[in-house]
Amino acid sequence: MTNSNQVNSSGLPTAIPEAPSGLGTMPRGEPRPAGEDVCILHDAQGRRITYVRVSLTDRCNFRCRYCMPTEGIHKLAHREMLSLEELAALIRVLVAELGIEKVRITGGEPLIRRGVIDFITAIAAIPGLRDLSMTTNAYYLAGMAEDLYAAGIHRLNISLDTLQPERFAHITLVDGLAQVLQGIERARQIGFSPIKLNTVITRENLDEAAAIVRFAIARNLQPRFIELMPSHEECATQFVSADELRSHLAREFHLEPGPRSNEVTTPSNETTTGSNETTTGSNEATPRLSDATGAAECHAAARLYRLDGGEHCCGFIAPMTHPFCHLCNRIRVRGDGHMLPCLSEDVYYDLKPYIRPELRDRELITYLREVLAVSKGHTPAARRIQGMWRIGG
C-alpha cells in the first residue's frame, strides 16, 4: 500500500497523525429489529436523501485562495476527529439502515488521511452502496491510484483551476501542477471512469476556460465549471457567473443545452490523448448526451452542454445564479462527526454522541430522521459559506 504520510514543497503537513487500528473490526452496532425495513430519509421539503458527502479531514496540502482566507484557518483538533473505523461505521448505518445509495469521499484533501485505502476497502464492501467516488486535488494520486482503484473507488472528480504552472502556484500556494497532471494521467491509464475535472471559475482563470475544455476533451475527461461560492471577502471581486462563462466559451465552441449529468451515456473506450495517439482502455469519462426522453428527475448539480454538435459535453454548476435546491438529495458529514444538511444554512448537527464511545444505531437513526425532517431549507446566496475546506464542497 502506498504511504501518504508526506510533506509538500511548502513544508505543510499532509497526513493526519492518527492511524486506524484495524477497519476490519469496525463497530457493527445493534441488529435491526426483526421485520423492520430500511428507513428512508426525507428532509423538510419532502426530498428523499440518498447521497452523503463525507469529509475525511479539514487538512489540505493546498491553500487555494478562494477556499481558505489569507489570515489562515482554525484546524480541528485531532481528538475531535472521528477515527476511520467510526466514520466507516457511520456510513454503514447510513447505507444499510437509511437508504443512502451514493457516497463521495472529500476533504480537505482525502488522500492525505493516513489509512484512507483501508477505509475505502471497508466501505466499498457495504451492501446496498451503489456509487462510491472521491474528490481530490490529485497531488498524490499518481502514487496512490492503483491502490485506490483496487480498494473500490472507480470514479473521480479532480480539481484543476489552471494549466499554467505559475498561476497554479499563485492560486494554491504550492508548485504542484506537474504532480497533478501526472496524477490525472495515471488515473486515466488505470481506468478510472468517469474522471471529471472541476474548475472553479474566477476572474483570474476565465481566460483559460477554453483551454481547459480542450485539455479535457483530448483526454476523454469531462470538464465541469463551478461558480465561486462566497467563503470569504475576496470572493466578491472574483465571481464569474455561469452565464458569463458560457458566453465566453461560445466564442470558440457551439454550446447546445443538454440534460443534467446523470442523464447521459458514456462513449466507447477509444480515447485521444494530447499527443494525438489513440489509446484503447476502460476510461470513458466524457459522456455522450443521451437521445432518450422521459428520463426520471435527476439530482445532479451539473447542467451539460453539447460541444460543437458532437458527443463531448461540458458541465456547468451554478449554485449562485441558477440554484438547483429542488433537486438536492444530499447531506454532508465532516470528519469530526458534524452533519450539515444544507450549504446555505449554517446549521450543524453533532452525530458524535451516537458514535462514541460506542455506536448506538437505533438512537442515531431516530436522531437523523428527526433533524432532517425539520432542518433542511434552501436559501441560496443568503450567507457566506463557513469553512468550505472542512465541508468538501
Boundaries of every domain in the chain? 38-391
- 332/258: higher pLDDT: 332
CATH topology of domain 38-391: TIM Barrel (3.20.20)
Higher pLDDT, 322 or 382: 322
* Residue 263 and residue 297 in contact, taking contact as beta carbons nearer than 8 Å: no
| Residue 304: strand pairing partners | 315
Look at residue 380 in the predicted model and tell me its pLDDT.
Answer: 52
- Percentage of residues in the chain having pLDDT higher than 70: 73
The x, y and z cell numbers of residue 64, run together, are: 487555494
Measured CA to CA, the distance from residue 108 to residue 135 in angstroms comes to 10
Report the C-alpha gap between 197 and 158 in whole angstroms.
5
In this prediction, residues 217-227 reach a mean pLDDT of 96
pLDDT of residue 237: 84
pLDDT of residue 324: 84
Q: Using 50, 70 and 90 to split pLDDT, how confident is the model at 375?
A: confident
| Model pLDDT for residues 248-300, shown as the tens digit of each residue | 999 999 999 986 654 433 333 333 333 333 233 334 444 444 332 222 335 56
Q: Is the pLDDT of residue 37 over 90?
A: no
Indicate the pLDDT class of residue 20, thresholds 50, 70 and 90.
very low
* pTM summary value: 0.82
CA 26 to chain centre: 24
Choose the weakest-confidence range: 21-35, 119-133, 254-268: 21-35
Would you say 106 and 53 are in contact if contact means Cβ atoms under 8 Å apart?
yes
On average, the pLDDT of the chain sits at 81
Is pLDDT of 103 > 60? Answer: yes
Helix (H) or strand (E) holding 306: strand 303-307
Task: Kindly report the length of the chain.
Answer: 393
Q: What is the C-alpha separation between 179 and 189, in angstroms, rounded?
A: 15
226-235, 325-334, 384-393, range with the lowest pLDDT: 384-393
CA distances from 40 to 34, 66, 70, 326 (A): 17, 36, 42, 18
| Average pLDDT rounded to a whole number, residues 124-152 | 97
Nearest CA-CA partner of 82 in 347, 392, 336, 383: 336
Q: How many CB atoms lie within 10 A of CB 146?
A: 15
Q: How confident is the model at residue 388 (pLDDT cuts 50, 70, 90)?
A: low
Cell of 59: 487538512
Could you please report the per-residue DSSP string of 212-266?
A: HHHHHHHTT-EEEEEEPP-SSTTHHHHB--HHHHHHHHTTTS-EEEEEETTSEE-
214/261: higher pLDDT: 214
Percent of the chain having pLDDT more than 90?
58
Which are the contacts of 50, defined by CB distance < 8 A and separation ≥ 6? 41, 99, 100, 101, 102, 299, 329
For the segment 299-311, the average pLDDT, to the nearest whole number, is 87
Average pLDDT, stretch 133-150?
A: 98
What's residue 94's pLDDT?
97
Mean pLDDT of 343-352: 86
Q: Are 73 and 241 in contact (CB under 8 A)?
A: no
Q: What pLDDT digit, counting tens, does each position of 79-99 carry?
A: 899 999 999 999 999 999 999
Radius of gyration of the chain (CA): 20
How many Å apart are CA 283 and CA 279, to the nearest integer? 9
| Interval 101-119 mean pLDDT | 96
Give the model's confidence band at 183: pLDDT under 50 very low, under 70 low, under 90 confident, else very high: very high
What the block records as the C-alpha cell of 25 is 473490526
Among 251-265, 305-319, 358-372, the range scoring the smallest mean pLDDT is 251-265
* pLDDT of the residue at 77: 83
* pLDDT computed for residue 68 by the predictor: 73
